[in-house]
Every structure is written in structure tokens, then in C-alpha cells.
Structure 1
Amino acid sequence: MSTIGKPLVLSAPDPRSLDLIFTDAARRELHARYDVLECEPSALAEQSDETLAAVRYIIGQPPITPETLAAMKSLRCIFNVESNLINNMPYETLFERGIHVVTTGAVFAGPVAELGLAMALNLARGIVDADVDFREGRELWGGDGNSTARLLTGSEIGIVGFGDLGKALNRLLSGFDATIRVFDPWLPPSILREHNVEPASLETVLSQSDTVFVVAAVTSDNTGFLDRKAFARMRRNAAFVLLSRAGVVDFDALMQAVRSGHIVAASDVFPDEPLAADHPVRKLPGFLRSAHRAGALDIAFKRMGDMVLEDMDLMDRGLPPMRSKRAERETVSRMRSKPVTNN
């Protein structure tokens, strides 16, 4: 129960913790300004009516039933610090009541974009394979080691999806003097042109790119939409870099496209995580693997806490949240990403 004069924050950010997303100084500020009640996500509905009525903010994405929400008469905002919007609460009622649902996922855009660029450069220049060959004494020197090498500079690049991650990736690619085409059916062409990229169809992005970056969220409209036919449209020896969620891809079809030698690929995400020890992608030549670590940096996690505190301060003063990204009523129920199990 909240102390008089001190708003109540309910913290249920599983699998993340307050220690993970707040610096020591920010954690002290949080407790100085708010009463903080920590509970397991499943225990939210077990709180007393008096406690629920006093909650001003939720940190996390616990399941919320319509009955529990009705008891939360002071609720102003749900801070989703997992960053995957899951269909586990009555969003329509939240919007009708003017309760904000926000995500701190923008903190991952820069780190993920950097690793994605590194993956693309590796696929173009064979850096990891050349290092392994060197360690094992079978290195090829000079031009002999560059038989399949190519440049990103001056190449044709496609991006599928243009949210925070797509924009961050585009900024990093701006120095490569490349032609960059983007497919994102949720954005008008004018917004894409403002970012100096060419709006394009999915067909064009796939068929006219030397490198394709996939940064689209999983929705009810696009699950598995990058399938066997999509990979067949890609240029031979093109690179495919998957950075958002594996659910947008038919993963078996992706592996087959790599296995056949048609394309090379890299991925930071997989259909099931952690991945089974005997999963065939582990030993697939031409496939660069990363264990969903692109955004999992401490500096990114700590930025979440800063965003939460800044937005709480704004709302305490009767202003809307500005640092976190607000969920939209037209799209939130269409999100289909799996919840994370490892930070």
C-alpha cells in the first residue's frame, strides 16, 4: 500500500529485474520518489483491492484481466520493459481509459544495428571463416583469400521494416554510398523518403539487393512471410541478415536456401531459444550465428530505467510520456512476438 504523498509503482518486469534496468543512482531515485511494490507477474491479480486502486505505474508486462484492470483506478501507464508487446491485457479498455502502454525497446536499436552491420560485413568479407582458417594453419594470403569477397560500399541494400531498428541501421549504412531500398507496409512513402531511402515493394527489395536486412516485428499479418518463394527471389550469393524475430521467417526454408548455396545468411534470433543442441543450423556452412545477444548490453538495459524515470516525471506533472514509445491502438493487438526468456 502506498505511503501518503508517494505514488505507488508495481514492479513485475520478469525476466528483467529492477537491478538490471536501473543504475544504482536511478534505483535510489525510483525509491525516493515512489513506493515500489515488487511481485511476480502472476501475482498481480492477488493484490488487495486497496493496493490495486493505488497503483499509478506498472513496470513490466504482467497479464491483466479486465477485472483486475477495473480495480486499478489510479493507473496511468504500463512500462513494458521486455519490449515485446504481448496480447495479455485488455488494450482496448486501456486506451479507452487513457492509460498509456509504452515500450522501452528503442534502447536496443543502436546496439542491434551495430551487430547487424558487423554481420553483413562478415558475410561480405568472410572475416570469421578466415580467422578460423588462420588458427588452423590453412589461411589463404592476399587475393587468394578473397575469392568470394565483395563490398558493401556502392552496393544495393534492402531493409524489411523501418521502425527504430531500421532507422538506426540506415544511419550506420549512410557512409557506404549504397542504394538503400525499404519495404514497410505500415509507413507512407514520404516518411521513407525523408530518411533518404527508396520506398519499394517486397519483391523489389528481395530481388534487387546484395544484402537484405530483416528488422520487422512479428505480427498477425506477417508470420512466416519470408518463405521458400521469397528466398528464391533473392540474387544468387546475396546476404540475408535477420535481426528482429525469427517468427517472420520460414526458418527451414531459410536454411535450405543457404544449404543449396543460393544465399548466405546471418541471424541473431531463432525459432526456439535457447536453441536445441542438435539443431541443424548450428553446423550449417554459410550461416553466421549469434545467440540473441545483439541488444543485450548492460548500457542498453540501464537506459531503460532512465527512460522510465523521465516519463514518470512527465506524467506526474500531467504531461504525456515522451521517451518511451507508445503502443498504438490500431496495431498493438496484432503483435505476435514471443516473450523473452533470457536477457
Structure 2
Amino acid sequence: MSRTVVIVDPLPRTLDLIMEPDVRARLERLGEVVVSEEQQMSGELVDTLLPDTVLIFGQTDMPKERLDRATKLKAIINVESNFLPNIDYKTCVERGIWVITPAAAFASPVAEAALAMGLDLARGITQADRDFRAGVEQYGLAGNATTFRFAGAPVGIIGFGDLGRQFRDLIRPFKNTVRVFDPWLPGEIVTNADCIASSLDEVLTQSRLVFVFASVTSENQSFLGRREFAMMKKGAAFLLMSRAAVVDFPAMLDAAQSGHIRVATDVFPEEPVHANDPVRSLPGMLLSAHRTGGTRDAFYALGSMAVADAELIMKGLPPQLCRRADLATVNRLRSKPVTVS
């Protein structure tokens, strides 16, 4: 008897984390759902199921030899949110197998947190709290000697994908001049968003706040280093909201410790950060434990977006909500797999 199997291999996510009961019920209607959540699905079980599998939710390794056996497969839906190098994307494209991820679910909460952290660095909110608790607070103008208004301050955005565009929309009421550096986009997209398409050097030298939303690629690892931090305005704010690997992390910490710039980061080279890591005590730093995107509603959006697009795919229609793997870019991505939900 013919089977219609849906492999669910979502670690480090779990179905309870990413799907509300009604979405889980819709998933169950897509086929015979086989779930592995305690550990990654064994290779033996995957290989047994592949001939009858129509959908894969998760980060299962799918090289060509497995795709050759998955003759019914319609889509691989990565619910971790990165396109990983464990799939033969070329073969998927040739066979019309969609490879998608609902990563945009995190864009709005990350943008919201980036705004909050930018306001914090500009106005010295966390530092003022620390000073008050230590009994060294200053009042009125004296307490604002090193602060500046976010409203009207020149803003730079590095990386203008889902995150960058959500952030740009969020700050419109503040009437900032916004410069954008993104070598993967034509200038028309940037200017249509009421921004100025700029070189990296222009963004760094002309902005009072620089927000980094760039993905890690084979071409931009550690591309923000000592030279780039040195050219920023003294007292400017640098906010790392995407992936740690796009910066020379020690150089960024040195720039913060020296007092040349103030820094906020939500990401780190190794996570969880070691208890004795010196970053925890550096001055000039606003720290966040890779939490800006991980809101309850964002995780549920991962599941609902994934299931909604799977329903379309099962009807022979293209996905509409998730990001699609593009051969021109997917093999350049270098993001580390997520290990903490």
C-alpha cells in the first residue's frame, strides 16, 4: 500500500516549541507523521522512510544519494532557520524539490530589540542604571554628557534582508537619515525604502549608530575588523544583531574597551558564553544572550509559516511565506547550526 510520510526531525526545535495545537493538527493532516524529538532521527530510520516521504520538517542530512531514493519528496523545510551545507541543493532544484525556511519569523522581534538596544546605547539607559545602583549617578545635563538623541541621528544598516528592512520600517518615526550597505542588492531596493545605498566605508564614517543584520557568507567572515572600527565616529554605537562571525570579535571588544565606540551584541563566537569570559565585565558593552528573536510568538510563527507553505506545496502550488534556497547564494552561506532553542 502506498504511504505518504512526513518526516519531522526538528532538533534543536521541538513541535511543542514551534506549533500551537491547531497548527500541529494541520501538520498531522499532511500525511503519516513520523517524529523524532529526543534525538536526531537515525540514519537507518530516515533511509527506511525516504521512498514514501513527501515532506521533511527539520535539518536532516539530504545528500544526493538520499535524494535519489526520495522519489516522492516535494519539500525540505528547515525549521532551525539557516540553510545548512548538509543538502544537495543543486539536485533539489533539478528535481523541483522546494528547500525553504521560515527564518523571517524572527525579523520583527529582532528589529524591535535592535531599536531598544540602539535607544539604550544612545541615551545611556543601562549605564545610568548601573551608576545609580553604584551610588555614582549624575543628574540633569551632567548625566547626559556622553549621550545623544536617537531621533534624527544618522543610522547605518549593514545587511538589508528581512531583518534590515523590518528595522528600517520600525525607525521611520525617528526621521533618521539611513545609509545601507548590502552588496547582494541593487541600489533600487535600497532607495525604494527611503535609504541611501552606500559603501561600507560611508556607512561606518557617516553614521552615529551602525546596525549589523548581515548573514555570514564565504566572502564576509570577520569583514568588520580593526580598520572598520577605527573609522567610526568616536562615541558612535555599533550593534551586532545577526551573526558573530561577520566581525573580528576581539577587535570589536578592543574598540569598546578603549572607549572609541559603544557596542551592543546579541551574538557571540561560542554560545553559551563561558562563565569566565572577559566579555562579561568589559565596559562600553550592552550584552544580550542571543535572545532578541526568540519570543514565544516568533517560535510559533516558525511552525505556522512552515505548515502553511507545506499545505500549498502539497496542492502543487509554490510556497509564499518561507524563504527559498537560491543556488546563486545558498552555497555561500556559512552560518553555524543553532544549538540552543
TM-score band by shorter chain is over 0.9
Post-superposition offset of 1:143: 1.6
| Structure 1 residue aligned with 2:191 | 193
The change in CA–CA distance for 1:242 and 1:49 in structure 2 (over 3 A counts) is closer
Cα separation, partners in 2 of 1:48 and 1:129, compared to 1, 3 Å = closer
Equivalent residue for 2:9, pick from 8, 12, 23: 12
- Length, aligned pairs only: 340
1:283-315 residue CA offsets vs partner (Å, 9 max, x unmatched): 110010000000011100001111112111111
Partner Cα distance (2:18, 2:41) in 1: 21
Q: Cα offset for 1:39?
A: 2.8
Q: What letter matches 2:236 in structure 1?
A: A
Alignment of 1:216 with 2:214, yes or no, is yes
Superposed, 1:113-128 pairs within 5 Å as 113-128=111-126
1:38 paired residue among 11, 35, 39: 35
Alignment pair present for 1:92 and 2:95: no
Residue 47 of structure 1 deviates from its aligned partner by 2.6
Quick one: structure 1 residues 114 and 49, their matched pair in 2 at CA, closer, same or farther if it must change by over 3 Å? closer
Deviations 1:156-202 (A, max 9, x none): 11000000000001011111111000000000001111111110000
Match in the other structure for 1:164: 162
For the pair 1:22 / 2:19, whether they are aligned, the reply is yes
Give secondary structure in 1 for the equivalent of 2:275: coil
Alignment of structure 1 residues 99-178 onto 2, 5 Å? 99-178=97-176
Q: Secondary structure at the match of 1:108?
A: helix
Q: Are 2:287 and 1:294 equivalent residues in the alignment?
A: no
Shift of residue 263 of structure 1? 0.5
| SS of 1:71 mapped into structure 2 | coil
Root-mean-square deviation (Å): 1.5
From 251, 254, 257, the counterpart of 1:253: 251
Deviation readout 1:41-88 (Å, 9 max, x if unpaired): 754531375621111111111222221111111111111111111111
Shift of 1:29: 2.3
Question: What is the CA-CA distance between 1:97 and the residue it aligns to?
Answer: 0.9
Q: How far is the alpha carbon of 1:116 from its aligned partner?
A: 0.7
Shift of 1:28: 2.0
1:211-250, aligned counterparts within 5 Å? 211-250=209-248
Moved over 6 A (4+): none
Q: For residue 74 of structure 1, what is the aligned residue in structure 2?
A: 72
Paired letter, 1:265: V
- Which of 114-123 and 303-312 deviates more? 303-312
Distance in 1 between residues matched to 2:26 and 2:293, nearest whole Å: 25
Would the alpha carbon gap of residues 312 and 48 (structure 1) be closer, same or farther in structure 2, given more than 3 Å must change? Answer: closer
User: What percent of counterpart residues are identical?
Assistant: 48
Between 68-77 and 32-41, the greater mean CA deviation after superposition: 32-41
Q: Calculate the TM-score normalised by the size of structure 2.
A: 0.96
1:270-291 CA-partner distances (Å, limit 9, x unpaired) = 0000111221211110010000
SS in 1 for 2:147: coil
Match of 2:179 in 1: 181
Separation in structure 2 between the aligned mates of residue 308 and residue 10 of structure 1, nearest angstrom: 13
| 1:44–1:62 Cα contact (<8 Å) kept | no
TM-score of the two chains, using structure 1 as the length reference? 0.96
Distance 2:135 2:41 in 1: 57
Report the CA distance shift for 1:88/1:289 in structure 2 as closer, same or farther (over 3 A): same
User: Separation in 2 of the partners of 1:254 and 1:246?
Assistant: 10
What SS does the aligned partner of 1:334 have? coil
Task: Give the corresponding residue for 1:309.
Answer: 307
Q: What is the one-letter code of the residue matched to 1:198?
A: I
